[in-house]
């Protein structure tokens, strides 16, 4: 048997983190099993579906490296298949027309509520006589199609994540609607609904394993009844745990992020996101292993190591994983990813004309980045933002003798048209000797002068970057003024 799995998003919003994680698990399972991963767009809800969301879903999956083998298939292109299935259920007497109005259904629910019962459809139109039906039609009522659910049934399956799951049919809310009422009076029935369309598609596409979020468990129970009614083979099911926020609630819009685009914008790398999502609910055989590509994870992935308990979203861990990917990326590649973040922050950087300088900058700040979006903050002083001296930098600049040291450095650089690393080191050496001080004092003073603070990335490298933009002279002059303020 060739494993065939699918991801079946509804294009009613951008690619959601929950859907993306489900896609990761499906992809890993398919790749591990040498199977196929299929993309199906569930767009039967024409009011809420939008082509731009389909595009966003496709580009998000591609960004994450989750390539699909077949599709995208669109449910709106497959309506005839669903109609055929609905007709088949009607013909077999397993589905029927229900003429209830929304007011009647509402009244029914109110009455149930008053009796402290769970709301459900009470199957009242299951056995209408021909006369009753004709009377409703004469009133101009348009029926929905309901699928019969026998309350006594117990539905069971062996879930590949959760083990044996048992569901009482009486908890499914009564006979379920599988098609809306027709808008066109000529049509037999209207838009087919989710559970029916999924079963028809999963059967038609030969899906062997349905791997999806645990919020679909009740749907699975309903769908098993539909597979049986349509005489189709029931696939295997695996329900993955929900993603929870730090408080243990389902991760939602309130947590500030929902779509993969949000994470992209925040400066997470696709490799880090995919890596982190694979760990959201799955434990690799060697649980100390945390950094791996999707292909490496696929070698080890199996559904029996997917946890039942909800997966807590751990920002610190995601940040750590992201930083590992950033730190291991060569500067010539990383720089290309940083440019948009600099530009967005308002810096006029141009990779084409300034690549060597930007690459050196990237190599210098790379190790201090956790997210790509940290780049503007980490590099603002090297990108020419004006200095604000920290208190200890001012203190340093105002120490005795520092004015002379900085003046000597300033004079020394005048004779170089292009400062090299060796030149910079030579200047520090000479000035140290001449002033008869410790090298540390010269270095700290220079750092305070060039960067306005006493901590930061490699000083000589920073100096060279500033020097190539003519900024070292400007800053030395400016710092001399600071240093003089105390001496005057």
The residues of the shown chain that bind ligand GLU, judged by CB under 6 A, are: 8-10, 42, 198, 212, 216
**Token digits of residue 106:** 């509402």
| CB of residue 219 to ligand GLU, shortest distance in Å | 7
The burial of 45, by beta-carbon neighbours within 10 Å (0-12 exposed, 13-18 middle, 19 or more buried), is given as middle
The burial of 233, by beta-carbon neighbours within 10 Å (0-12 exposed, 13-18 middle, 19 or more buried), is given as exposed
Helices and strands: H and E segment counts in the chain: 20, 12
Rg (CA), the chain: 33
Q: How far apart (Å, rounded) are the C-alpha atoms in residues 408 and 299?
A: 61
Nearer to ligand GLU, 48 or 333 (CB): 48
Q: How far apart (Å, rounded) are the C-alpha atoms in residues 344 and 350?
A: 13
Angstrom distances, CA of residue 144 to CA of 91, 100, 136: 15, 8, 12
Beta bridge partners of 240: 213
Cα three-residue angle 117-119-123, rounded to 5 degrees? 105
Nearer to ligand GLU, 10 or 479 (CB): 10
Select from 165, 170, 178 the least CA-distant residue to 153.
Answer: 170
Q: What H or E segment, with its residue span, contains residue 168?
A: strand 163-168
Nearer to ligand GLU, 78 or 212 (CB): 212
| CB of residue 237 to ligand GLU, shortest distance in Å | 10
Select from 432, 431, 475 the least CA-distant residue to 452.
Answer: 475
| CB of residue 66 to ligand GLU, shortest distance in Å | 15
| CB of residue 472 to ligand GLU, shortest distance in Å | 56
| CB of residue 306 to ligand GLU, shortest distance in Å | 15
Nearer to ligand GLU, 20 or 450 (CB): 20
10 in the Ramachandran plot: left (φ > 0), alpha (ψ -120 to 50) or beta? beta
Q: How far apart (Å, rounded) are the C-alpha atoms in residues 476 and 403?
A: 10
Q: What is the DSSP letter of 255?
A: G
Residues labelled catalytic: 253
**Token digits of residue 219:** 């749907």
Q: How far apart (Å, rounded) are the C-alpha atoms in residues 5 and 206?
A: 9
Nearer to ligand GLU, 9 or 192 (CB): 9
Q: How far apart (Å, rounded) are the C-alpha atoms in residues 356 and 358?
A: 6
Nearer to ligand GLU, 7 or 450 (CB): 7
| CB of residue 53 to ligand GLU, shortest distance in Å | 11
| CB of residue 233 to ligand GLU, shortest distance in Å | 16
Nearer to ligand GLU, 207 or 427 (CB): 207
Angstrom distances, CA of residue 85 to CA of 4, 44, 147, 175, 203: 22, 16, 11, 17, 11
Please report, in angstroms and rounded to a whole number, the separation of the first and last CA atoms in the chain.
Answer: 87
| CB of residue 42 to ligand GLU, shortest distance in Å | 4
Query: For the packed helices 331-344 and 351-365, what is the interaxial angle rounded to 10 degrees?
Result: 110
Nearer to ligand GLU, 7 or 428 (CB): 7
Nearer to ligand GLU, 8 or 448 (CB): 8
| CB of residue 18 to ligand GLU, shortest distance in Å | 8
**Token digits of residue 104:** 């009647």
Angstrom distances, CA of residue 192 to CA of 20, 137, 165, 337: 26, 21, 27, 44
């Amino acid at each position: 048997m060739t494993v065939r799995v699918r991801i079946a998003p509804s294009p009613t919003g951008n690619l959601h983190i929950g859907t993306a994680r489900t896609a990761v698990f499906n992809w890993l399972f398919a790749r591990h099993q040498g199977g196929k991963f299929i993309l199906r767009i569930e767009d039967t809800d024409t009011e809420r579906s939008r082509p731009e969301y389909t595009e966003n879903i496709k580009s998000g999956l591609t960004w994450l490296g989750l390539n699909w083998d077949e599709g995208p298939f669109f449910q709106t292109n497959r309506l005839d298949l669903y109609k055929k299935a609905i007709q088949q259920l009607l013909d077999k007497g397993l589905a029927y027309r229900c003429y209830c109005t929304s007011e009647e259904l509402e009244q029914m629910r109110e009455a149930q509520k008053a009796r402290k019962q769970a709301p459900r459809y009470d199957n009242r139109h299951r056995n209408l006589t021909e006369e009753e039906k004709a009377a409703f039609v004469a009133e101009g009522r348009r029926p929905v199609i309901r699928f019969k659910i026998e309350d006594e049934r117990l539905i069971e399956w062996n879930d590949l994540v959760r083990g044996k799951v048992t569901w009482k049919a009486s908890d499914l809310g009564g006979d379920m609607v599988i098609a809306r009422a027709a808008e066109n009076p000529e049509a037999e029935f209207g838009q087919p609904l989710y559970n029916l369309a999924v079963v028809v598609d999963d059967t038609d596409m030969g899906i062997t394993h349905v791997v999806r979020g645990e919020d679909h468990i009740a749907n699975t129970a309903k769908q098993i009844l539909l597979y049986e009614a349509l005489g189709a083979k029931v696939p295997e099911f695996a329900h993955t745990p929900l993603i929870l926020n730090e408080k243990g609630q389902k991760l939602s819009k309130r947590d500030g992020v929902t779509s993969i685009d949000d994470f992209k914008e925040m400066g997470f790398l696709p490799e880090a996101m995919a890596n982190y999502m694979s760990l959201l609910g799955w434990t690799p055989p060697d649980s100390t292993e945390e950094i791996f590509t999707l292909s490496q994870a696929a070698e080890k992935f199996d559904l029996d190591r997917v946890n039942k308990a909800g997966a807590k979203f751990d920002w610190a861990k995601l940040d750590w994983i992201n930083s590992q990917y950033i730190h291991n990326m060569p500067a010539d590649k990383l720089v290309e990813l940083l440019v948009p973040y600099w530009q967005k922050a308002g810096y006029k950087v141009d990779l084409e004309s300034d690549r060597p300088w930007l690459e050196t900058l990237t190599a210098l700040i790379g190790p201090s980045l956790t997210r790509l979006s940290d780049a503007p903050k980490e590099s603002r002083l090297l990108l020419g933002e004006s200095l604000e001296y920290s208190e200890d930098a001012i203190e340093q600049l105002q120490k005795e003798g520092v004015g002379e040291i900085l003046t000597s450095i300033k004079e020394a650089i005048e004779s170089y048209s292009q400062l090299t690393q060796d030149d910079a080191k030579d200047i520090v050496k000479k000035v140290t000797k001449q002033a008869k001080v410790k090298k540390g004092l010269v270095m700290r003073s220079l750092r305070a002068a060039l960067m306005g603070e006493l901590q930061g990335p490699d000083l000589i490298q920073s100096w060279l970057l500033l020097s190539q933009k003519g900024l070292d002279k400007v800053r030395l002059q400016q710092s001399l003024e600071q240093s003089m303020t105390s001496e005057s």
